[in-house]
Amino acid sequence: MSDAQITLADVTAAAERIRPHLAPTPLRRYPRLCELLGAEVYVKHENFLPTGAFKVRGGVNLALQLSAEERERGLIAASTGNHGQSVAYAARLAQTNATICVPENANPLKVAAIRGLGADVILFGADFDEAREGCAELAAERGYRYVHSGNEPHLIAGVATHTLEMLGDRPDLDMIIVPIGGGSGAAGACIAGKALRPEIEVIGVQAAAAPAAFRSWREGTIVEDHMGTFAEGLATRVGFELPQTILREHLDDFVLVDDDEIRQAMVRMIGATSSLVEAAGASPLAAAMRMRDRLAGKTVGLICSGGNVNIEQLKELLDTTGI
C-alpha cells in the first residue's frame, strides 16, 4: 500500500487481521439522542475497545505487519494518551518494546494505562506537538521505529474498520460524524464509507480552540495554529499530511465546536449511553446538535472515539456544566 492510496481492500484486509484480537464494537440506537436531534441516531462505541479508544485498531494492524528488524528496534510514538495506549498494546502483541512520549500535563489515567501495558513513558513538552517533535528526535537518535499518529497508512487502514463495521450493521446510514485531531479516524471513515456507500456524507468535527486540521483542510495546505482546547483527542497544533490528503478528496464538511458545546455533549452522551465518553468522543454529538436542522429524517452514525475519562475530569465536567 502506498501512502496516498489506501483502498477498501486494505481496510478489509485489516479487518481480517485484527479480528482475532479485537471484537467488533456495538452500534447502538439511543431514543434520547434520536429525540434530541430529530433523526435516527446510532453511536459507534469505540470506547468499548480494550484500550478505551478507536486507535488500537490501527495499532494492531500495524504491529501484525512489522518486520523482524522493526520488532528488534522497538516502537516509539508521541501521544496525549490514546495513540500511546494503542502502540503499547500493539507492541505487547508483537512482542517488542514501546516508548511513548507524552506531554507533561497528560491525562494520568491514560499515562497509567500506557505503563500498565508495559511501555516506557517519557514526559516531554507542554502539549502534544512538543511531545511529537521530541519523539521524532529521539527516534532518529536511538533507531526506534517511529509510529506517527497520522502519517501511517497501516493505522488509517486499521481504524477504518470502525466504519466497515458500522455499514455492515446499518448499510442505510446517511451520515457519519467523526472527531478529528490528527485525522486518521476521519480519513479511515472517508475511505471505507465512500467505497461502500458513495452517497454517504462524512462530517469531521474539531474543537474551535484547536483548529489546525480544519484550517489545513479548508486552505488546502498544512497549517499550524493555536491549541487551547481541553479535549485531548482534538488537541493538535498542526495538520498531518496523509490524513489531510484523504480528507481534501473525500470529506464532505468540517464543523468546529467550542469547548462548552463539547462539555454539554459529554454530559448528554454519558447520560444517554450509560458509559464513559471522553471529550473527543462526545464532539460528534456537539457537532450534530449544532447542525440539527440538517439531520432531519436522516440516519446518522456518531463515532464515539473513546471513553478515557478520569475521576477529576468528571468532577470538573459536572461542576462546569452545573449538573
Catalytic residues, by residue number, are: 55, 305
- The distance of Cα 323 from the centroid of its chain, to the nearest Å, equals 27
Look up residue 232 and give its amino acid. Answer: E
The burial of 228, by beta-carbon neighbours within 10 Å (0-12 exposed, 13-18 middle, 19 or more buried), is given as: middle
Q: How far is Cα 34 from Cα 192, in angstroms, rounded to an integer?
A: 25
Residue 58 dihedral angles phi and psi, to the nearest 5°:
-70, -40
Residue for grid cell 480544519: 214
Report the distance separating Cα 187 and Cα 148, nearest Å.
15
What amino acid is encoded at 300 in this protein?
V
Q: Which three cell numbers stand for residue 3?
A: 501512502
Q: What does DSSP say about strands 40-45 and 27-29: parallel, antiparallel, or unpaired?
A: antiparallel
CA 101, distance to chain mean position in Å, is: 18
Dihedral sign of CA atoms 49, 55, 58, 63 in order? negative
